[in-house]
Every structure is written in structure tokens, then in C-alpha cells.
Amino acid sequence: MAYHEEVANDVLTETIIGKAIDIHKNTAPGLRESLYQELLCEALRDEGIACEMEHSIEIEYAGRTVTTGRADLWIADTVVVELKVVKQITDEHYNQLGRYVKAADATRGLVLNFGSATVGIRRYTNFELLEAGEGVEAVEGTEDREGIEA
């Protein structure tokens, strides 16, 4: 399947993005990140999609489990979502998402920015799981969608 088809057929991340846009339309940009976190998680739960806030990201090292951080949202045991309220998504935000996706063995992730007049979106897909045949629906990389009209 071609990359664009795979991205277009990713119903779960499109649902997440759709809910983020709906929330952005019905609230003001630039509110507290924790408010968007709660609203998005509840909107997804209303759709029957499992959502956990502040999910611990852990790695194993030398026989010990070490917490490396917390994902804002852990959705359906496959998607890491990092929420931002900034002017624009930076490479640092995207790289943080990539580290979380890989450490969590997630198939994909999203950075969603509620800090501007439109929702900013960057996607990340775990290429290592794709190569291992884990059913990942897109290739590793980014799809910038800064400027999605809310």
C-alpha cells in the first residue's frame, strides 16, 4: 500500500485529529495543556476508544525498569499523543514524540498543538515495528499539518 493511502486509511489517528479540531473549534486557543488533555481523552472515550492520561513511558536497562517520561495521552494501546500549547511545533517536540513512541513500542504518535488559531499536527510512525511486521499503517516520518482550520 502506498504511503498516502496508508495515512489516509489510519482511522484511529484521523479520529484523534478530528476530535482535536472539534475541541479547538469549541474552545479558545492557548488554554492550559491539561484542559485540552482532559477534553480530548474524554471525547475519545465517548467514542469507545481507550485513553489514558499521563502514561508512564518505561525502558528496561540492566535488569531494571526506568521511567523515561510521561506521554500526555496513550490511546488504544498503540498511539502516543503529545499535546502542546505553543506558537508552533518544533523539531524538539517532534523528536520527543519519536523517543516516546519507540520507548513505548507504540505504532505511531501525534503532536497536537492548540496554541495557535489553527490546530498544528505532526505524525510519527514507528518504522522499526513496520519492518518487524507489526501492522503499522504508515512509514516513519512526518506529515506536517500546521494550519488545519479549526
- Residue 107 and residue 113 in contact, taking contact as beta carbons nearer than 8 Å: no
Instruction: Say whether domain 3-131 belongs to CATH 3.40.630.
Output: no
Q: pLDDT tens across 118-149, in order?
A: 899 999 888 665 455 444 343 334 444 444 44
CA angle, 7 then 9 then 10, to 5°: 70
Amino acid at 45: R
Please give the average per-residue pLDDT across 104-127, as a whole number: 89
The secondary structure element, H or E, covering residue 66 is strand 64-75
Q: What is the residue extent of each domain of the chain?
A: 3-131
pLDDT band (50, 70, 90) for residue 102: confident
- pTM score over 0.75: yes
